[in-house]
A and B are shown apart, each in its own frame.
Chain A
Amino acid sequence: EDQVTQSPEALRLQEGESSSLNCSYTVSGLRGLFWYRQDPGKGPEFLFTLYSAGEEKEKERLKATLTKKESFLHITAPKPEDSATYLCAVDSGGYQKVTFGTGTKLQVIP
């Protein structure tokens, strides 16, 4: 059974204080790892897809990286508008299709 664990559950940062969110996964065979952002009361919004170990993708202040066992979402010099819950999901092609983690709730304080 595929498993996804995200840490920490919650993270509070000062504006400009860089940090990383972790997504550890156990799958039989990884087809893709996804990062989403979810604002309160809204549906998840797609950020990145990573397919193989060593791959990196960037978007503004966000950078996602992938190893064989985990992925990191690095946030550089965050702003208050980066406050959201960040979800990680893995696709192994199994009957569950995509398995989601429970998310990291990020709060950036001005």
Chain B
Amino acid sequence: NAGVTQTPKFQVLKTGQSMTLQCAQDMNHNSMYWYRQDPGMGLRLIYYSASEGTTDKGEVPNGYNVSRLNKREFSLRLESAAPSQTSVYFCASAQSSYNEQFFGPGTRLTVL
């Protein structure tokens, strides 16, 4: 039982490049989330998926897109990376939006 897994662990991009962050959970959870964590800012919600087939914007969605591929997988795409997107990205899952969230180990992204 791996919980929530994220790939890659580290990534360096140049401005304008694109990439997809992958997230998978094996807990049969319905809800999945993408956050970014920046110093002094706390965790901020980018996008979430309350259930398979649905996605909604969070607090900071600009510059990102998501895909809920199936119940297990929720990916985050940066179409044209900008230095302001340098951050640590966490994926999380929960049984439902009422329940505690379980987090992955994070992806450390640097955009030059």
A97 to B55: give the CA distance in the assembly, Å.
13
Query: Are B101 and A46 interface neighbours, CB within 8 A?
Result: yes
Residues of B within 8 A of A31 (CB): 98
Residues of A within 8 A of B102 (CB): 46
Contacts of B17-33 to chain A: CB distance below 8 A: 33
A44 to B105: give the CA distance in the assembly, Å.
8
B81 to chain A, nearest CB (A): 22
Query: Are B45 and A98 interface neighbours, CB within 8 A?
Result: yes
Residues of B within 8 A of A91 (CB): 97-98
A41 to B9: give the CA distance in the assembly, Å.
10
A99 to chain B, nearest CB (A): 8
> What is the total of A-B residue contacts with beta carbons within 8 Å?
52
Interface size class of B (residues with CB under 8 A): 20 to 34
Query: Are B58 and A97 interface neighbours, CB within 8 A?
Result: yes
A49 at the interface (CB under 8 A from B): yes
A36 to B59: give the CA distance in the assembly, Å.
20
Cβ 8 A contact of B104, one of A4, A41, A43, A93: A43
Residues of B within 8 A of A44 (CB): 43, 90, 103
A16 to B15: give the CA distance in the assembly, Å.
49
Are A43 and B58 CB-contacts (below 8 A) given A31-B98, A97-B45?
no
State which of A59-67, A70-78, A100-108 sits at the interface with chain B.
A100-108
Chain B positions near chain A (C-beta within 8 angstroms): 4, 33, 40-45, 48, 56-59, 90, 92, 97-106
4 smallest A-B Cβ distances: which pairs? Answer: A43-B103, A100-B43, A102-B42, A100-B42
